[in-house]
Chains A and B, each alone.
Chain A
Amino acid sequence: MGIMRLSHVEIRVPDLELATAYYTEVLGLYETAREPERVFLKCWDEQQHHSVVLSFAPTYGLEHFGFKVTEREDLDLYQAILEAQGISVKRYVDGEWGPGHGEAIRFATPSGHQMELVYGMQQIGNLLPLTNPPPKPLGLVGIAPPRIDHLFLTVEDVKVNTEFFQNVLGFHLTEQVMGDDGFQIATWLEVSHASHDIAFITGQDGGFHHVAFWVDDWNDLRNAADVCAYHGVHIETNPTRHGATRGYCLYFFDPAGNRNEVYTGGYYIDPDAEPITWTESEMGRAIFAYDGVVNQKFLTVHT
């Protein structure tokens, strides 16, 4: 019952062909549907119809993001909760928003991000049979992450947005960077027993910092860096480690300038665990544990 995990992101791109080529051949996602102005993509191990939607637009950034709920009734429940808070909710019937999309409710978070809760997206299967499957498909192209992992957004008021996700949507705070003035600079929240499913950092409302894809281990991060370098993709941060979440990461940009991450590691967490706190003086290490210095480009560049 309730919200399960990050389902999908809709990313704005000014060149749909170029973006599709990057997301399928460099990142290694699979195209599952195409319209004149939208391309639907999934990672190889995902059962659901899409986890990334590229939408033609004269700009870049995040158009909307969706979390998957476990039951249809969860949509009614959250619609009632949101409307009781005075938040207007738009409802989509099954398949209305796009091919295979399922039933959804759409609303704005306090930071003005368009968020969706979705139920019943069409299951088209991963690339493996359900009887005697091999552990992975052969011939995957590019980085080929098995699944989408998490989302990182910029918001003007981290505290307000964090409380909204905790109190209204039932997320659990795992880590936070506290400023010397006592305000949250950044927060990490989970709803799937992972170290984080969504995170916020102080910045512009509605901003898109990055979307992350899961890879199996540190070796796969090195392979991902090789693939990015081979294709001339702009790598922002080499394979390194986060202090917050303890995960391993590689950051790079899609051709439209949206930041992507491949991520692995981190920990498994129970919902009753107390959050970890980073102080402002240790913020560099919270973000990049090996460098330990605050990287202004990483903190300020977003789409």
Chain B
Amino acid sequence: MGVLRLAHADIQVTDLDLATAYYTEVIGMLEVERDDTSVYLKCWDEIDHHSLRLEYAPRVGIDQFSFKVEHEDDLAELEKAVNTYGFPVERVSKGERVGQGESIRFSTPSGHTMELVADVEKVGRALPLVNPPVYVDGLLGIAPPRMDHILLNAEEIGESAKFYQDVLGFRLTEQLVDSDGHQMAVWMERSHRPHDLALVRGPNGGLHHFAYWLDDWDHVRRSADILAYNGVAVDVGPTRHGITRGNTIYFFDPLGTRNEVFTGGYRPDPDFPTITWTEDNIGRAVFYYEGEINQRFMRVHT
């Protein structure tokens, strides 16, 4: 019941062909549909229509992000909650947008456009439902099985975190607090993972990165090989996070949007106690092996 997981990120790209080539051949997503201005992509193990939409625009950035809810009834309940909080909600009917089910759309306190969607069009995995093999042969690039999480920028973390927790039912797994006790960054979950959504201080409306799930640390190493082979700009990694305990690489798509591949982490129950990181441990909190964060990672966003 309620919000299930990250459904899709809709990002803006200044070169649709270049971005599509990168996301299909280096990342290894599958193209599901295309129109004049947009390309819809999914990871091989995803059943729903798409998890990434590339849209041509004169600048890069995030257009909106979308979370899947379990039942259509959840939309009415969450619509009421967002309205009560004081934000207007727009309804988008099933089929009004490509591959999309019934959805509601609203602005978050940090000025991001968020969507909640039920009953997304299903296109199936790249595997049959009867006697399936354990993987798909001939996939290109990194070929992550699915999208994992998204990290957004917000000027006021405390206010935004409260919105996701109190209005949308997200649970706080970890937080980074400054010496004044204010939240600098928060990690929140709905799917019994260390995070589905995270927020870090930065300009409202900004996208820090979105992340793909990988099978294991071995898959992280193979991804590093593929990134290097294709001349992709690596930001950080392979390394490990203190926060979430996940294994990771950060890198940039050809237009400057940061991507991550992620695996590991733990499996929290909803009554899991929140883990706190203090500002004096920020290096280890973010990159456990290095113990420090580079300025590019702190400042660059789209």
Indicate if the CB atoms of B273 and A47 lie closer than 8 Å.
Answer: yes
Q: Are B269 and A216 neighbours in the complex by a CB distance under 8 Å?
A: no
* Chain A residues, CB < 8 A from B181: none
Closest chain B residue, CB of each to CB of A125: B273
Selected contact of A282 from candidates B131, B263, B285, CB within 8 Å: B131
Of B1, B213, B217, B263, which contacts A219 at CB under 8 A?
Answer: B217
C-beta contact mask, B253-280 vs A, less than 8 Å → 1, else 0?
A: 0000000000110110111111111100
- Is A192's beta carbon under 8 Å from chain B? yes
Cβ A135 vs Cβ B240 within 8 A:
yes
* Contact across chains for A135 and B274 when beta carbons are under 8 A apart: no
The interface stretch among A32-40, A50-58, A126-134, A159-167 is: A126-134
Asked if B130 and A278 make an inter-chain contact with CB atoms under 8 angstroms apart, the answer reads yes
A132: contacting residue among B131, B270, B285, CB under 8 A: B285
Across the interface, which residues of B come within 8 angstroms of A45, CB to CB? 266
Q: B159 contacts the other chain (Cβ, under 8 Å)?
A: no
Determine if A134 and B242 form an interchain contact, defined as CB atoms under 8 angstroms apart.
yes
CB within 8 Å for A132 and B281 given contacts A271-B70, A276-B129: yes
Number of cross-chain contacts by CB at 8 Å = 106
Q: Which residue from A5, A147, A270 sits with its C-beta under 8 Å from B68?
A: A270
Instruction: Provide the bound-state CA to CA distance between A271 and B122, in Å.
Output: 13
Q: Is the CB of B274 within 8 A of A268?
A: no
Interface size for A (C-beta < 8 A) is 48
Instruction: Tell me if A123 and B273 are in contact (CB < 8 A).
Output: yes
In the complex, chain A residues whose CB is within 8 Å of the CB of B35? none
Instruction: Judge whether A268 and B213 touch: CB under 8 Å.
Output: yes
A192 vs B218: C-alpha distance in the bound complex, in angstroms? 26
**In the complex, which residues of chain A have a beta carbon less than 8 angstroms from the beta carbon of B240?**
135
Residue A4 interfacial (CB < 8 Å): yes
Which of A2, A134, A276, A286 has the most C-beta atoms of chain B within 10 angstroms of its own C-beta? A276
Contacting residue for A130 out of B218, B274, B285, CB 8 A: B274
Q: Are A130 and B275 in contact (CB under 8 A)?
A: yes
B215/A279 in contact, CB under 8 A: no
Interface string of B1-31 (1 = CB under 8 A from A): 1001100000000000000000000000000
**Main secondary structure on B side of the interface with A:** loop
* Nearest CB on B from A99, distance (A): 19
* Chain B count of residues within 8 A CB distance of the other chain: 46
Q: How far is the CA of A70 from the CA of B134 in the complex (A)?
A: 33
Asked whether any CB of chain B lies closer than 8 Å to the CB of A218, the reply is yes
**Contact status B216-A217, CB under 8 Å:** yes
B242 touches A267 (CB 8 A): no
**Interface check A256, CB cutoff 8 A:** no
Is A267 a contact of B216 with CB atoms below 8 Å?
no
CB distance B270 to A70 under 8 Å?
A: yes
Q: How far is the CA of A45 from the CA of B272 in the complex (A)?
A: 11
CB of B44 to closest CB in A, whole Å: 11
- Known interface pairs A47-B272, A132-B281, A241-B134; A1-B1 also in contact (CB < 8 Å): yes
Chain B CB within 8 A of A289 CB: yes
Judge if B235 is at the interface, Cβ distance under 8 Å.
no
CB-nearest residue of chain B relative to A245? B134
> Which of chain A's residues have a CB closer than 8 A to the CB of B275?
130-131, 133
Chain A residues 257-291 with CB under 8 Å of chain B are 264-265, 267-268, 270-279, 282, 285-286, 289
Q: 8 Å CB contacts to B: which residues of A234-250? A: 241-243, 246
Quote the shortest CB–CB distance from A189 to chain B (angstroms). 16
| B288 smallest CB distance to A (angstroms) | 6
User: Does A68 have its Cβ within 8 Å of any Cβ on chain B?
Assistant: yes
Can you list 27 residue pairs at the A/B interface with Cβ under 8 Å?
A5-B192, A5-B269, A70-B271, A125-B273, A131-B277, A132-B277, A132-B285, A135-B242, A135-B288, A136-B245, A147-B267, A214-B267, A216-B217, A217-B217, A217-B218, A218-B216, A219-B218, A265-B215, A267-B45, A267-B145, A270-B5, A272-B70, A276-B130, A277-B129, A278-B130, A279-B130, A282-B131
Binding site for A on B (CB under 8 A): 1, 4-5, 45, 47-48, 68, 70, 129-135, 145-146, 191-192, 213, 215-218, 240-242, 245, 263-264, 266-267, 269-278, 281, 284-285, 288
Other CB < 8 Å A-B pairs besides A218-B216, A276-B130, A282-B131, 13 of them? Answer: A68-B269, A130-B273, A130-B276, A131-B278, A134-B288, A135-B242, A135-B245, A136-B245, A217-B263, A218-B218, A241-B134, A243-B131, A271-B4
